Structure 1
Amino acid sequence: MTKLALSLSEYAVVLVNLGTPAAPEVPEIQAYLKQFLSDKRVVDYPDILWQPLLRGIILPFRSRKVAKAYQSIWWPEGSPLRVITERQVKALGKRLELTETPVQVCYAMTYGQPSIGSTLERLCASGVKRIVILPLYPQYSATTTAAIADQVADFVKQTRNLPEIRFHKHYHHHPTYRAALAGSVRSHWQKYGQAEALLLSFHGIPERFVRLGDPYQQHCRETAANLAADLGWPTEKVIVSFQSRVGKEQWLTPYTDQLLEELPGKGIKNLQVLSPAFAADCLETLEELAVENKEIFMHAGGESYQYVSALNDSPCHIRLFEQIVLQQLQGW
């Protein structure tokens, strides 16, 4: 590994994930959802129509349901997403130390704390001059990665003495990501055996966003094709679906919950499920995918349903981050 002549006070990498409520209670859930669902990258309806619906109906009713879901998966150390992200930061920092790369490693959240803007302000105040932003989304979408870029741009617009910033767009084709994803499935197979099919459930986005140019659906299907090839499995045994839709607008299909109701009737009764879009286990994986959707599948006649964990802070995942960061630091 090439040794990089960097100053500890001048270089930083910021891992950025979606975010999490500060606590699994209704007020914190409402504050988090209000910020999240007010982002035009996520919901682009006119404020005059959307905000009354959001504040008058969605937040009062949805927050109570979401709070119960968070309470069911909350860890003693805190939100799973936050705890795992902190572990990723610590593990990446250790790997970069082994390569004698003096760079600060920290994290920020698009929604909630620590915010992207406050993190960048803190780094600049400490003397950092060059920053790598690494969104923890293998597949690009304007609803996730571009939302991070928006907040970085907001920071830039308000800052006189700018740091140099590099931004990594996506990594679903990265060889180490592919190896990590396939390795996680093989490890699961070694413990539990193979199922009849693998279901890759990705977070959904409105179908309209794809028509407007968002490549997310294409990236998801490329991820599935890559995984099938890397596992040596027939492509028809690696199924793609989309979860977590909101509202009445058409989102990407097939919908995960509806598909799980149909699969047992089609002869697939033993299923293993993973969500390659999530770099860390969170509410959408630990509760929605692992619990809610399992109940749907089993009630429909399924016999075995196993959730394959996100890559989290596994060594292969941290190695991927290390490789991306070292690549981004080159030439500085």
Structure 2
Amino acid sequence: MTAVASIESARAAAGTVPERVGVLLVNLGTPDTADARGVRVYLKEFLSDPRVIEDQGLLWKLILNGIILRVRPARKARDYLKIWNTENNESPLKTITRAQSDKLAAAIADHDHVVVDWAMRYGNPSIASRIEALTAQGCDRLLVVPLYPQYSAATTATVCDEVFRVLASMRAQPTLRITPPYYDDPDYIEALAVSISAHLAGLPFQPERIVASFHGMPQQYVDKGDPYQVQCIATTDALRKRMGLDAGKLLLTFQSRFGTDEWLQPYTDKTMEKLAKEGVRRIAVVTPGFSADCLETLEEIAQENAEIFKHNGGEQFTFIPCLNDSDPGMDVIRQLVLRELQGWI
């Protein structure tokens, strides 16, 4: 047997095709169904992650299983139904993330040895299933792309944890790269500015304030060293500079707080109430920390916070969509991926 034949036989035995690169886009997650059962399964996985709720002691388990998973799923299912993609029977986050994956694959199609896929940290498709699919296609190198512009242990780090957990069970592991946070990347800031400007240009009114609302986090997580707040501030500062707006015109807030602990402030909902009571009548809200629209943007901001603003005297409220799979948004992802694939393509 020749040396070449021996190599090919070994490759066949390993079940691999050489020199393929996998790119895996990862977002947070979503229930499979917009009902209490689907939401319960999703919340149990999400809230059992020690990166999300760091104290997973007996008290938390009693609260989670005895109260939260009994009460919250039905309520959140009603919220999901307000935004559910009924045509595909899935959440908008899943629809958009799939579209981002498809468009990225098309954008880098000239690199025919690169395979693009997508996964969710919680729910489906799982990270484990997609890594298995990529390696089955012969990907011996893997670039994981957490779709979070700002790093936090509760988002980016838990994606890494799960990737490492999956790889720990593999005999033939792919070589791994993980994209860094891109909170101050010029392409990202430019895409946000273009998106905001285009949206505002189509309005019949001029907002008096623009609010940049980021997902919240317990203050104690930042006190322990999480860089998330610093990166949110850096994003907002860069966006202000790019758009020529000061801190009084483009505000920074944090949404989606949960439980009784102090979270990062100022709170988005309290800011909506405060601004309306101070006489602000026209407002726009953008959510730069979300790469794709989801429950927290389409329901919490576009519906709940709009109602809070108007209930307290506000008159005109507009929600600026996430970058999603728009051309500017895809340019950000494409440039990030191509930069991190250098040396592999």
Tell me the TM-score normalized by structure 1.
Answer: 0.95
- Kindly state the Cα deviation for residue 316 of structure 1 after the two structures are TM-superposed: 1.3
Cross-structure match for 2:156 = 145
Equivalent of 2:337, from 318, 325, 331? 325
Number of the residue aligned with 1:181: 192
CA distance in 1, matches of 2:61, 2:129: 26
3-state SS of the aligned residue for 2:108?
helix
1:50 to 49, 60, 67: 60
Structure 2 CA distance, aligned partners of 1:101 and 1:141?
Answer: 33
Aligned 1:75-86 pairs, distance under 5 A: 75=85, 76-77=87-88, 78-86=90-98
Distance 2:194 2:18 in 1: 34
Give the 4+ runs in structure 1 shifted more than 6 A.
none
Work out which of the residue numbers 246, 249, 254 in structure 1 matches 2:258: 246
Q: Distance in 2 between matches of 1:19 and 1:9?
A: 30
Q: Is the 8 A contact 1:276 1:310 kept in 2?
A: yes
User: CA–CA distance in 2 between the matches of 1:8 and 1:282?
Assistant: 37
Match of 1:139, as an amino acid?
A: Q
Write the distance in 2 (CA, Å) between the matches of 1:151 and 1:47. Answer: 21
Residue 301 (structure 1) aligned with residue 309 (structure 2): no
Deviation at 1:282, TM superposition (A): 0.5
> What are the Cα deviations for residues 9-54 of structure 1, in whole angstroms up to 9, with x where unaligned?
6111000000110010111100000000000000011331111110
Which of 106, 115, 121 is the aligned partner of 1:104? Answer: 115
Residue 262 of structure 1: which of 258, 274, 286 is its match?
Answer: 274
Alpha-carbon shift at residue 269 of structure 1 (Å):
1.9
| Residue identity opposite 2:151 in structure 1 | Y
- Aligned in 2, Cα 1:229/1:8: closer, same or farther, shift over 3 Å? farther
* Count of aligned positions: 325
Identity of aligned residues (%): 43
Give 1:60's aligned residue: 70
CA-based RMSD? 1.3
In structure 2, the partner of 1:163 is 174
Distance in 2, Cα, partners of 1:231 & 1:194 = 15
Q: Secondary structure at the match of 1:240?
A: strand
In 1: Cα distance, 2:336 partner to 2:210 partner: 28
What's the offset of the Cα at 1:236?
1.9
1:125 to 123, 136, 141: 136
Name the CA distance, whole Å, in 2 between partners of 1:46 and 1:174: 35
- For the pair 1:284 / 2:284, whether they are aligned, the reply is no
Look up the match of 2:213. Answer: 201
SS at match of 2:328: helix
The 3 A distance-change label for structure 1 pair 232 and 65 is same
Counterpart for residue 72 of structure 1: 82
- The 8 Å contact of residues 96 and 102 in structure 1, kept in 2 or not, is answered as no
SS in 2 for 1:219: helix
Q: Which has the larger radius of gyration?
A: 2
Q: Does the CA contact (< 8 Å) of 2:18 and 2:140 recur in 1? A: no
Pick one of 229, 234, 243 that aligns with 1:217: 229
1:191-211: CA deviations, max 9, x gaps? Answer: 015311110111101000001
Q: Which amino acid aligns with 1:124?
A: T
Q: State the TM-score, normalized to the length of structure 2.
A: 0.92
Q: Map of 1:32-47 to 2, 5 A cutoff?
A: 32-47=42-57
What is the identity, as a one-letter code, of the residue corresponding to 1:36? F
Query: SS where residue 22 of structure 1 aligns?
Result: coil
Contact kept? 1:35, 1:111, Cα under 8 Å: yes
Q: Distance in 2 between matches of 1:101 and 1:237?
A: 46
Letter in 2 for 1:231: M
Per the alignment, residue 245 of structure 2 pairs with 233
Structure 1 CA distance for aligned equivalents of residues 234 and 248 of structure 2: 14
Residue type at the aligned position of 1:23 = T
Structure 1: tracts of 5 or more residues without a match: 1-6
Q: d(CA) in 1 for partners of 2:280 and 2:237?
A: 20
Q: Indicate whether 1:136 and 2:136 are aligned.
A: no
Q: Secondary structure at 1:138's aligned position in 2? A: coil
